[in-house]
Amino acid sequence: MSFRDESIDVITINSVLHHIQDTEGFIKEIDRVLKPYGLIFIGHEPNRYFYDSKFLWYNYKSMEIFTNFQVPIKKIAEKTHTVKILRKFYYSLSSNKKKEFYYYKDICEKINKKLFKNKLITKPLTPEQIGKITDIKVNEGFYPDLIFLNYKLQHFETYNHLNWVITKNYDNKIIKKYDNWLKKDFQRKELPFLLY
């Protein structure tokens, strides 16, 4: 970063760390530019303690299948290599979905164009492939208490226990109650962070 050493008072990062290949190098750069007693706020990062808990992980995956019809359909489409056809059908359902489709299509085309120009690819990448490249550490997450060892981390906001399940079913009172129970029951005393 083009900032002087110890020149920044506060750094905020939201949904950034899991997109960075060299997390260690990124943290060293934060160390360099942050003033002594400076503050770091981190939001929307996957929590490794969630992935370590087989119960929480399988619970989330099961809830995702039962509450979102798109998940099993997507899995079947991936196995049968019909993702492109299914995507076209899904986005043809409404004008808003068509806009969303063209927005993502445009982004993917721009990414592919840049990668071709720099001779980094020989054939276009699919949206799924681009997602895997950009969400480098989304499926492994971080141990919040071990990311910044030289800092007293005052706040680390992570995903909730049900991730997209609660996001897509926010008005469902049963799912909300279940998520609150998980938060209360699985919030370890030694970890002042939400477990996922």
170 sits in which H/E element: none
Contacts of 17 (CB under 8 A, 6+ apart): 23, 26, 42, 45, 137, 142, 147
Q: Which residues pair with 11 in a beta bridge?
A: 40
181 compared with 124, residue with greater pLDDT: 124
- Count Cβ atoms below 10 Å from residue 149 Cβ, excluding itself: 8
- CA 147 to chain centroid: 17
**Residues 107-150: tens digit of each pLDDT:** 999 999 999 999 999 999 988 888 888 888 887 888 877 887 77
Please, which pLDDT band fits residue 192 given cuts at 50, 70 and 90? very low
One-letter amino acid at 111 equals I
pTM for the model stands at: 0.66
Average pLDDT value for the chain? 80
Mean pLDDT (whole number) for 173-181: 83
Please give the pLDDT value at position 194.
39
Mean pLDDT of 169-193: 69
pLDDT digits (tens, 9 = 90+) for 80-110: 888 778 777 776 766 776 676 677 788 999 9
- Using the predicted structure, report yes or no on whether residue 159 has a pLDDT greater than 70: no
Max mean pLDDT among 25-34, 42-51, 95-104, 187-196 falls in: 25-34
